[in-house]
Amino acid sequence: MIQLYYKGATADVVGAHGLSEADFNQVGQKVAHAHQAVCDQIAAGKLGYADLPNRKTYRDRVGQLVAKYKAKTTDLVVLGIGGSALGNIALQTALKPVTYNLIDDAQRGGPRLFVLDNVDPCLVSDTLDLLGSRLGSTVFNVISKSGETAETASQFMIVREMLRAKLGKDFARHIVATTDEKKGTLHDIAKADGYDTMPVPEDVGGRFSVLSPVGLFSAAMCGIDTDKLLAGAAAMLKQLEPHDWRKNPGTMLAAITWLMFNKGKPIQVMMPYSNRLYGLADWYRQLWAESLGKAKDRAGKDAFVGPTPIKALGTTDQHSQAQLYREGPNDKLVIFLEAATHPRELTVPDVFGDVAGLSYLRGTKLSALLQAEKVATEYALAVSQRPTVTIRFDAIDEESVGAFIMYYEFVTSVAGELFNINAYDQPAVELGKQATFALIGRKGYEKMAADIQPFAKPDEKYVLR
């Protein structure tokens, strides 16, 4: 399914900027403990995300609703943000053609999918306008664990009123709510209005929830084989159990990222050589940033840790970022994603044989060119002593994508142990959410609104015109 190749991060390749046997030996015990702690938490049922492949009730509920809606739905619009959207986008972009929404209704094999993960008025208005006469065959899947996130809530209110105005009493048949099973604002409204609902698992944080109904419903509606996705995730978890950490791809990647962070490489660039895999880099950015970017360690002491995850696309960003990555500060670990096979292929035709600058390309498969460019970048970075690792997908299919998701969630857990922080909360995100409530005038947030005032209105002294 997937494998880790890490030679490019070793001292053999990048000298003092890489990891030596001494580095690995020094960290061995710490990594072994971290791995044991994560395995113990999984065995004790404390890491809900690891159990998602086993949760038949979720699969059944998703299956019921897909059976109910798929045939009569031309358009599916997800309303959600962060962990309630990025996984949906990653699955769709990895496993469906880039032109999916442009394919004829009869050929596509599922509804068009739009994920509205922002409150940009253009994004929301343009998408709602596009639905036009298809509104009667559109389903809106509103996803919010808390049920009160301002972005999702405001979109939901706009959509609900639009549906009520245009479809009358039938409006509730066009909304499926994915939220807390037992409580919360969205839960209560769904019940009162009579929407179909799916649960967001109580024991799984948003950014770890893609393999729950949060991500599975839109995927299954669009024809992604979610059983295979979950099978890939389950198989990967098994692969991550064995305890020789030097041979375990999960513990090794967690150790490398932790060591690199402490070796003056606080930036980690995920660079897929595949447009299909690019959405996974976005998903990873949230997983890594919210899980590992923490001010306090688990003893409450100042920590201020967390690698900064950024994304780049190969080959596109070779022509945009590579200059910086090779000659700028040597403060990055590049994590390549590559695929052994791609779902599509094209070969450069046998033309321009007499044009010296082009003839070498004749007969080259685009996948071979893409791969050559990846190796070329890996080599060029190594020449500049820039460390890299590669995660190789055997194929871009459901099993490998499911495996990658479980892999990175597990790596995040082990890295959380190494950094000695709580990888499952996001206090800084919560403050931003509350400040939004205060600024928009939600009751109960008056004190915070007063504190924010200096930020709400520009101080003229510092405005230049």
Q: Measured from the CB of residue 206, what is the shortest distance to ligand PA5 in angstroms? A: 2
What are 115's strand-pairing partners? 78
Three-state SS annotation for the chain:
CEEEECHHHEHHHHHHHCECHHHHHHHHHHHHHHHHHHHHHHHCCCCHHHHHHHCHHHHHHHHHHHHHHHHHCCEEEEECCHHHCHHHHHHHHHHCCCCHHHCCHHHHCCCEEEEECCCCHHHHHHHHHHHHHHHHHEEEEEEECCCCCHHHHHHHHHHHHHHHHHHHHHHHHHEEEEECCCCCHHHHHHHHHCCEEEECCCCCCHHHCCCCHHHHHHHHHCCCCHHHHHHHHHHHHHHCCCCCHHHCHHHHHHHHHHHHHHCCCCEEEEEECCCCCHHHHHHHHHHHHHHHCEEECCCCCEEEECCEEEECCCCHHHHCCHHHHHHCCCCEEEEEEEECCCCCCCECCCCCCCCHHHHCCCCCEHHHHHHHHHHHHHHHHHHCCCCEEEEEECCCCHHHHHHHHHHHHHHHHHHHHHHCCCCCCCHHHHHHHHHHHHHHCCCCCHHHHHHHHHHHCCCHHHCCC
Residue 228 annotated among the catalytic residues of the structure: no
Written as six digits, the tokens of 264 are: 């003056």
Q: Measured from the CB of residue 144, what is the shortest distance to ligand PA5 in angstroms? A: 3
Residue 265 annotated among the catalytic residues of the structure: no
Q: Considering the candidates 30, 228, 263, 433, report the single residue annotated as catalytic.
A: 433
Encoded amino acid at 436, one letter: T
Q: Measured from the CB of residue 275, what is the shortest distance to ligand PA5 in angstroms? A: 24
Q: Measured from the CB of residue 323, what is the shortest distance to ligand PA5 in angstroms? A: 32
Nearer to ligand PA5, 209 or 248 (CB): 209
Nearer to ligand PA5, 152 or 274 (CB): 152
Nearer to ligand PA5, 94 or 200 (CB): 200
Q: Is residue 306 left, alpha or beta, with left meaning phi > 0 and alpha meaning psi from -120 to 50? A: left
Nearer to ligand PA5, 101 or 146 (CB): 146
| Closest listed residue to residue 123, CA positions, set 115, 111, 135 | 115
Residue 319 annotated among the catalytic residues of the structure: yes
Residue of closest CB approach to ligand PA5: 206
Nearer to ligand PA5, 275 or 436 (CB): 436
Q: Measured from the CB of residue 214, what is the shortest distance to ligand PA5 in angstroms? A: 8
Could you tell me the CA-to-CA distances from 147 to 84, 103, 179, 180, 223 in Å, in that order? 11, 33, 6, 8, 27
Written as six digits, the tokens of 120 are: 């940009």
Q: Measured from the CB of residue 63, what is the shortest distance to ligand PA5 in angstroms? A: 22
Q: For residue 77, which phi and psi values (nearest 5 degrees)?
A: -120, 120
Q: Considering the candidates 151, 290, 409, 417, report the single residue annotated as catalytic.
A: 290
Q: Measured from the CB of residue 280, what is the shortest distance to ligand PA5 in angstroms? A: 16
Nearer to ligand PA5, 6 or 217 (CB): 217
Nearer to ligand PA5, 53 or 206 (CB): 206
Nearer to ligand PA5, 75 or 409 (CB): 409
Binding residues for ligand PA5 (CB under 6 A): 81-84, 144-146, 149, 152, 205-207, 290, 426, 429
Q: Measured from the CB of residue 406, what is the shortest distance to ligand PA5 in angstroms? A: 17
Q: Considering the candidates 238, 247, 319, 461, report the single residue annotated as catalytic.
A: 319
Nearer to ligand PA5, 205 or 232 (CB): 205
Query: 213 near 141, Cβ under 8 Å?
Result: no
Q: Measured from the CB of residue 349, what is the shortest distance to ligand PA5 in angstroms? A: 46
Which residues have a catalytic role annotated? 290, 319, 433
